[in-house]
Structure 1
Amino acid sequence: MLRMGCYFFMDPMPQSLPLHAAIVDLDGTMVDTLGDFVVALNRCLGDLGLPSIERSFVERTVGKGSEHLLRSTLAHLGADAGLYEAAWARYQVHYRAVNGDHAKVFPGVTRGLAWLRSRGLRLACLTNKPTAFAEPLLARKGLAAHFEQVFGGDAFERRKPDPLPLLRTCEALGSEPSRTLMIGDSSNDAQAAHAAGCPVVLVTYGYNHGEDVRAVPALAHLDRLDQIEGWLAY
């Protein structure tokens, strides 16, 4: 693997296979939402008389959907699994109330998305976050206009790392998987992309369950999303 400045290359994008579209993850890829998760989760736990959870645990656990985060949190605290339904109801209330309050767009994201669109790529956001939370977050952070489609974790029968959401999103964009770039921050995104037949690029600043994402196979590992311009031009 060749390192060039802030770029971590494994392979250039084949020039004989031009891209028609891109699918972009949300949490940890475009927006740092860890603060929202921590606040909403701890308010939920407080309602149930449970102790608060540490930020580092949330960072290691996000990425597989809110249900997974909540079940993992209850297990981590040694709480009764039967509390899940009550916890889910309270969590939904609190997350909706704080959605975007403690979140910020990562540097380079807006420019990177604008550049991809300037190249004629059709863009979709595909996240394991519920659609009802994803759409207002994108709008609040000024990112919604970049996307033709937004699909949350409840949009399909299965979620990433299953390839089904990527395949369905490709269909919605009218693009073949081999010509649709997946951009994410975790092994979930990479695993789904590889299984779907999509080329994949990973950003290095996301969550990835507390592990170094550079160890996850991808065409490139980028420190900022706007570095995609240099990679595709490489």
Structure 2
Amino acid sequence: MGRNVFDGQPRAVLFDLDGTLIDSAPDITAAANELLELYGLPPLTLTQVRSMIGEGVKKLVERAFAASGVPLSQDRLEEANRAMAGIYARHLTGLTELMPGAAETLAQLHASGIRLGLVTNKPQLAARSILLHFHLAERFGAIVGGDAVVRGKPSPDPLLFALEQLGVPPEEALMVGDSATDVAAARAAGVPVVVMRGGYTRVPVEELDADLVCEGLADLPAALRHMRSAA
């Protein structure tokens, strides 16, 4: 068990979005390839783009051009990032699906009185639009996108901002994510962290130094009980 396991049931659970609650890689791939086409570059595969997700749209754009053999200067990166913002706004939910067990697990946690927050590096408006599309927005007492704070994950800032909105201190909260970015942000915020298999991590989940690895979202309530009993 990891270093910062809470004592008792958490009062709040913070969720990452991409690769944790939703499988958005197909939509993000479509948007990235539309952007690359504007620049006369060939498309990337779904597998390639999946490995680029997790640190915000700008970092994804930078990685996409680098993978295409055309690394961008800072000015060109800013230009491409602005273009991507408009493109991705048209690719939020067309190919995106909920991860198995997402809706049911959120409903169960919400019904048990646990406060829920969303902490993502995706832009705030895009994150909220996706939650509304899947009828999940009402579950969350805090939705923090990458542009809602100066520094996104792996900085602790978005987690701490969400917890401030929820009125819960870090030691009484839990982070649920799928990547090293989520684990680093949770550690920096002093929040225990559960990592889900099947997300967008670029390294094996066992190497992420999470407090617990969970097979899927449907197993999360049982995982919370396991962590509580081990605290």
Scaled by the length of structure 2, what TM-score is found? 0.91
Q: Which runs of 5+ in 1 are unaligned?
A: 1-9
Partner of 1:3: none
Partner of 2:208: 216
SS of match in other structure, 1:61: coil
Aligned: 1:73 with 2:64: yes
Distance in 2, Cα, partners of 1:100 & 1:231: 29
SS of match in other structure, 1:208: coil
Runs of 4+ in structure 1 deviating by more than 3 angstroms, as ranges, are 13-18
Partner of 1:5: none
Instruction: Select 1:93's aligned residue among 86, 103, 109.
Output: 86
Aligned-residue sequence identity (percent) comes to 34
Amino acid at match of 1:213: V
Distance in 2, Cα, partners of 1:51 & 1:17: 52
Partner of 1:4: none
Query: Once the 2 structures are TM-superposed, how far is the Cα of residue 190 of structure 1 from its aligned partner?
Result: 0.8
CA contact (8 A) 1:38 1:58 kept: yes
Partner of 2:129: 136
Amino acid at match of 1:160: K
Distance in 2, Cα, partners of 1:204 & 1:63: 15
The number of residues matched between the two structures is 224
Query: Once the 2 structures are TM-superposed, how far is the Cα of residue 122 of structure 1 from its aligned partner?
Result: 0.9
Q: Name the Cα RMSD after superposition.
A: 1.8
Partner of 1:228: 220
Query: Once the 2 structures are TM-superposed, how far is the Cα of residue 35 of structure 1 from its aligned partner?
Result: 0.4
Amino acid at match of 2:196: V
Alignment of 1:130-209 (within 5 A): 130-209=123-202
CA contact (8 A) 1:183 1:200 kept: yes
Amino acid at match of 1:51: P
Distance in 2, Cα, partners of 1:184 & 1:79: 31
Deviations 1:68-94 (A, max 9, x none): 000111122222514323322321222
Partner of 2:16: 25
Q: Which runs of 5+ in 2 are unaligned?
A: 227-231
Partner of 2:229: none
CA contact (8 A) 1:113 1:226 kept: no
SS of match in other structure, 1:75: helix
SS of match in other structure, 1:79: coil
Distance in 1, Cα, partners of 2:29 & 2:65: 14
